[in-house]
A and B are shown apart, each in its own frame.
Chain A
Amino acid sequence: MIEVIGVSKTYGEKILALTNINLKIEKGEFVSIVGPSGAGKSTLVKMLICEEKPTAGKILIAGRNIVQLKSNELPYFRRKIGVVFQDFKLLPQKTVYENVAFALEVCDADPQEISDKVPRILDLVGMLKRKDNYPDEISGGERQRVSIARSLVHSPKILIADEPTGNLDPVNAWEIIELLDRINQRGTIVILATHNKVIVDRLKRRVILIKNGQIGSDKYRGGYVI
């Protein structure tokens, strides 16, 4: 489903963010990408969501090289993947419901589809009862749930979460991870970039370690080892 082939990324002439990354992620997998800060996790995530382009190599998603996507094709690609960030990135002037509905509105979805899907996805993340609140009226954990709901509302095949628990306390963090696990069990590929050791150890799923811009290890049912 996702294939990263010989990907390197340099910033300027001297800074080597990633060197010759090769990996393959199959349908239905839950993959944690771990590594110390500055190792290149975020760069890899940014390239998977086409926020940045690699200096060399190919990234195939469903057989298509996303490195060669034209700028007018990008929005359509982004609608096929869901992305969750550490800082939630919710629109402060919109309610929980509106934030999630917004992701469908920009895709030209019809109003019927929006009123069908949004309550269902809010229910899935346990935020239906808070649908009329604004982001600053809910807790960090709740905001992350809304952010996940937004990333899932157009039924993407891949969910990429970049440090989704970075701003959360352990209980909330674990709840978010359980939510991601549940989403994964429904068939969505989940790629989780994190440096939270406890979470990775408890998940017992595939762990890819990035170290100095290279793949340090790639273990199924692995733990967090640096």
Chain B
Amino acid sequence: MNWISIKRITNLGLTNFWRNRWLSLASTLVMTLTLLIISLFVVMTIVIGKTTDRIKAKMDITVYFKDSATTDEISDIQQKLAARSDVKEVRYISKEEALQIWNEKQKNQRIRELVTTDENPLPRSLAVKAIDPSNLNNIADYLSSDDFRSIIHKISYEENKQIIDKLLAITSFIKKLGTFFSIIFIIMSILVILNTIRLTIFTRKQEIEIMRLVGASDRFIKVPFIVEGALYGFLACILAMLLLWIGIGLITPLTNQYLGETVSQNMRNFFAGHFGLILLLQFLVGILVGIGCSLFSIRKYLKV
């Protein structure tokens, strides 16, 4: 392909975009919506994923020991636990540390002063974190075995089991739901944009016919439409980014009010920090979808 034809073909695409500006506008707007929906869902899935990961990271089992248990016995259990493949971390909490935590957490001074260094009923404990929180169950079972019964006072898991199980179920449900809706919306958006571009091309059926008639090669017919498709994607990407920016500005007061300053600050930080990535993603998706849909739609008009 020489320089003159590249110039001609590109010009043709740009001119067509302008001459059919209403249809171009429709396609660009639909594409903008597609990009917005895709970005929102991707961001939502990431945020939900991060939140559930954070919740999961906080889940643990605490084993409280009887005061009669010796330090050796406790460190033996600690080593055994640490050797398990499903355990991520085992932390020993001494009586002194337990007191410190008590002092930090207990706001009521009178209650706080009930426990002192000299009179400390707080038990020593091991805080166990699993690599996968759903394995906490197995670890709890292991600790409940007869071998350890004599020295273990209580396993916190028993109490928290229901909450942990529920949290696990909810987080996995939200993740699945988010992914499911993202996929559905992405497919729907792509179908809508495909249809819009097909319509654009359909209205120019005669033009394609004439081009073939005067001996235009397939490439000469195809490329202007591809240029147009890419242009839809490019403009839609800019529009979507702009709308996203305005949208965040608009909902910030609301998120401040309902979710607290930190959450909305986090959200804005996420967008600011990933601005380049989001832009690149939208740009790529926009242009690929535009070109892909154009290529797919024009195929049928190129057959003899």
Contact = CB atoms under 8 A, between A and B. Distances in A.
B254 interface: no
Interface string A88-124: 0111010000000011011110110000000000000
Contact of A108 (B5, B206, B207, B210): B5
A106 B217 contact: yes
B4 A83 contact: no
Max chain A Cβ within 10 angstroms of own Cβ: one of B2, B5, B214: B214
Nearest to B207: A91
A9 interface: no
A150 interface: yes
A78 B4 contact: no
B215 A76 contact: yes
Given A51-B304, A105-B8, A111-B4, A93 B19 contact: yes
Interface in B205-249: 206-207, 209-218, 220
A74 B219 CA distance: 13
Interface string A39-68: 000000000001100000000000000000
A119 to B, nearest CB: 18
A102 B2 CA distance: 17
Contacts of B4: 108, 110-111
Contact of A106 (B2, B209, B211, B304): B211
Interface string B1-45: 010110010000000000100000000000000000000000000
Contact of B215 (A90, A107, A111): A107
A9 to B, nearest CB: 15
B214 A78 contact: yes
A134 to B, nearest CB: 12
A147 to B, nearest CB: 10
B218 A106 contact: no
A145 interface: no
Nearest to B19: A93
Max chain B Cβ within 10 angstroms of own Cβ: one of A50, A76, A93, A154: A93
Contacts of B212: 75, 78
B206 A89 contact: yes
A76 B215 CA distance: 6
B214 A106 contact: yes
B8 A75 contact: no
B213 A78 contact: yes
Contacts of B207: 91
B2 A108 contact: yes
Contacts of A108: 2, 4-5
Given A89-B206, A108-B4, A78 B215 contact: yes
A90 B8 CA distance: 19
A72 B220 CA distance: 12
B215 A79 contact: yes
A93 B213 CA distance: 17
Contact of A150 (B5, B214, B220): B214
B213 A89 contact: yes
Nearest to B217: A75
Contacts of A89: 206, 209-210, 213
B210 to A, nearest CB: 5
A103 B214 contact: yes
A50 B213 CA distance: 10
A155 B4 CA distance: 21
Given A71-B218, A102-B214, 16 more contacts: A50-B304, A71-B304, A72-B217, A75-B212, A75-B216, A75-B217, A78-B212, A78-B213, A78-B215, A89-B209, A89-B213, A103-B215, A106-B214, A106-B215, A107-B215, A150-B214
Query: 10 closest Cβ contacts across the A-B interface?
Result: A106-B216, A79-B215, A78-B215, A103-B214, A75-B217, A75-B215, A106-B220, A89-B210, A93-B19, A108-B5
29 contacts: A50-B304, A51-B304, A71-B218, A72-B217, A72-B218, A75-B216, A75-B217, A75-B218, A75-B220, A76-B215, A77-B215, A78-B212, A78-B214, A78-B215, A79-B214, A89-B206, A89-B210, A89-B213, A91-B210, A93-B19, A105-B8, A106-B211, A106-B215, A107-B215, A108-B4, A110-B4, A111-B4, A150-B214, A154-B215
